Every structure is written in C-alpha cells, then in structure tokens.
A = this chain, B = another copy of it.
Amino acid sequence: MIEQLNNIELICKKAKDASYKLAVSSNKDRNFALKLIASQILKSINKIITANRKDYKAAKKNKIPSALLDRLLLNEERIKNMAKDVNNISKLEDPIGKELIKKLRPNGLKITKVSVPLGVIAVIFESRPNVACDVACLCIKSGNAVILKGGKEARHTNEIIIEIIKNTLKKTSLNANIVSSLKNYSRSSVNYLLKMDKYIDVLVPRGGKELIKTVRKNSNIPVFSHLDGICHTYIDKFANEKMAINITYNAKMRRTSICGATETILCHKDVSKQVLPHLLEKLLNAGCEVRGDSDVVSFSKKIKKASEQDWKKEYLDSIVSIKVVKSLNEAIKHINNYSSKHTDAIITNSKKNAKLFLTEIESAIVMHNTSTQFSDGAEFGLGAEIGISTGKLHARGPVSTQELTTYKYIVKGNGQLRQ
C-alpha cells in the first residue's frame, strides 16, 4: 500500500513539473492537441464502447440505481458528442496571457497584470465517464495540468479515455504528464491525494455531498465545489400568471435531479389565488409532492404542511416547498436567509421589482422571467464546465476555462530602488 501511495506522490510531482512548461505553451499548440484528441476519440469509438460495456455489465450486476447506470453508459452518439465538446473547447478564446491591467508608474516601473494558469488541478469525480474527457480538455485549454480520480464503477471507460488522451499528447509538443490519473481506487488513495498541497493548486470534487464534505474537511488545498442547490422561484404580484405557471413548473419538474432545479416556490399573496390552484394542479398531476405553509395547505388536502426543515432542504426529487409571502421584501429576506446562493429567479412584469430582486439577492445567479434550470455553463455559452461553484471567491457559478486561471503581476524596471 505504501508503494502505491508513493506512486500517487510521484504522479503529483510529475504533474507539477509538467505544468510549468504547459503554462508557457502557445494557444496554437494547445488547440492542436485538443483537435487531435477529438479526432482520436472518434477513431476509437469501438474501443471505448468495449471498455464501457465491461463497466456497464459490472454495474448492472452490482445493481447500481438505473439513473447512475444511464450516466455510466456511453454509446456512439454520446462519444461523438464528447469529441464535439473537445473541438468546441479548442475554439474558445485563449484564457491565458491576457493583460488585465497595464500601468506605467511615475518612477518608470512598468506593471502588467496577466492571466496565468492555476497550475495543477485534481478532479475527483463519480460515474459519468465523459467527465474525464471534458475536464482534461478544459485543463489543457487553460494551461493547467490535471490529475483525475474517477469512480471505480467507470474504471475501464475512464482508463481507455485517459490512455487515448495521453497517447495523443505524445504526438504533440505538450508533455503527456499534464494529464494523469490514479488507478488506485481505495479511499486511502483519495485521502493521500488531499494532502498533496505541495503539488496540487485546486481540488474539484464532483459527486455527492459526502465526497465534497470529506474533501473540504480533510484538505487545505483550495476547493471549487458545489455544495447545495437550494434554488427559489418567486412569483411576484406583477407576474404574468401563465408565464409564472409555465416557468415555475419547468424550473421544478424539467429535471428534478440537477442543482439548478427550483426547490422552493414563493408566491405573492395578491396573486396566490389566481396562480397557485393551476400550478398546484399541474405539479400534483405530475406526481410532485407539495409541502406548503398554512396558506398553501388550504388549497388542497394533498398538500403536506412544510416544516422549518423544508425551507433548508435540497430535495433533488419530485418534491417542492411552497410559501405565500406578503411582499417582495419578504421574498428577498426569505431567499437571502435560506437560499444556498446558487440560483434564484423572480417572475414579474415590474421592471422596478425585477431590479430590486436582481440586485438584492445575494446568489451567484439571479434570473428574471426564466427558469432556474438554465443554470449551466453550456446554456450560458461558456463552453463545457468543470463544475458549478457555490463559493463566492474566485469562481462563482459555472467553472470553465477563465475560472481555471489566476493572475500574476509582471514588474519591469531599469534599476529602480525603493526609497
């Protein structure tokens, strides 16, 4: 076991060493590598499917839930999409080497603030094997070395995908060590990885809350992570009723398992009698469990009374909590108090109320007259994302190539001494 753990340290060290040259590589060289990876993936469809079948069969045998099974599955179409994503990443603007500030100081010092890669990113992820490809390519594009630690259930698929990427890199000017992966699937290997702060600049845990909590608790490496998506949709007094019903239904029910799904609906008292009966009917007919405050409960016997816990709950399921509020101000206070600061929306035709909501709500993403389900890097036109961050620092919302950079100050002088 110690030998394996030493191996992890060696992988991290090699990634760090390789990251320096990658950081100064040209966008052209990085894009060339990405396009070659995309074409190699297309050439390897059968190979990938064969590996994926092994994982799929084992997972089926182990009776993993069908939702996870579906995430694990790769077919020809999904692999083609994977390659397309890689090509799209190559087309994104170069995030590194951007001059953010340029100053000439009175003493003649020239100061430039320039975007640079973060260094080494370690991504711990579960299930979906296309993540390995997306994440590796986002890191290459942004000049970061990446260490991937995939889930055991997708091991064969992940390994073949990473092998394809590494073999392709060998045909380019980039060092193959910029992409590496751990093949040790034990829990102790993750714990060991969390201690590699000498080599790893940022950790990205993608998976269940337990994983994220473990990572945050046991590492002093900075973490980009998405803890909760307690999203709200507030139906204002000046909402278009039909729009309110359609958007709220979409925000909750389109896909209940994603982080941008609405978990709590707030409705202004002046429109609750017009909006709620239709909305509740639609939700209940679709099999959604509704937990409401006393006003909402009065609409139907099928509605359960919400407890304090319900306002703090990310259901990720066909369950919704609904509350009637007396004012926009009450809605804003409720959201700033209970929201996980991910995504919150207002439905209103009042520009004034929309502006107040959009400025006073503290969340990473605030929306007006649309569905919280649009909270997604691709929907935002940012290209693929490495994850969504609910932190306020550095990366907020979708984490894509730009968020994978930091900056440095370059100061040029001709002999200036400080007085």
Best-buried of A119, A246, A396 by chain B (most CB within 10 Å): A396
- Whether B414 contacts A369 by the Cβ 8 Å rule is yes
Nearest B residue to A341 by beta-carbon distance? B408
Determine chain A's interface SS by DSSP, over half rule: mixed
Given that A360-B20, A391-B222, A418-B254 are contacting pairs, would A366 and B410 also be in contact in the complex, using a CB cutoff of 8 Å?
yes
**Chain B nearest CB: distance from A259 CB in Å?**
13
Asked if A58 is an interface residue, CB under 8 A from chain B, the answer is: no
Given that A23-B359, A222-B392, A380-B111 are contacting pairs, would A417 and B250 also be in contact in the complex, using a CB cutoff of 8 Å?
yes
Q: What number of A residues sit within 8 Å (CB to CB) of B?
A: 59
Q: Taking the full assembly, how many copies of this chain does it contain?
A: 2
Within 8 A of B (CB), among A105-140: 105, 109, 111, 118-119
- Whether A119 contacts B408 by the Cβ 8 Å rule is no
Asked if A367 is an interface residue, CB under 8 A from chain B, the answer is: yes
Given that A411-B365, A413-B368, A415-B370 are contacting pairs, would A396 and B392 also be in contact in the complex, using a CB cutoff of 8 Å?
no
Asked if A220 is an interface residue, CB under 8 A from chain B, the answer is: yes
- Whether B396 contacts A406 by the Cβ 8 Å rule is yes
Q: How far is the CA of A362 from the CA of B412 in the complex (A)?
A: 16
- Whether A393 contacts B393 by the Cβ 8 Å rule is yes
- Whether B118 contacts A392 by the Cβ 8 Å rule is yes
Q: How far is the CA of A222 from the CA of B366 in the complex (A)?
A: 23
Within 8 A of B (CB), among A352-409: 354, 358-360, 362-371, 373-374, 379-381, 391-394, 396-397, 406-409
Leading 10 A-B pairs by shortest Cβ distance: A370-B413, A394-B394, A250-B417, A373-B418, A393-B394, A367-B411, A370-B416, A365-B409, A243-B415, A369-B413
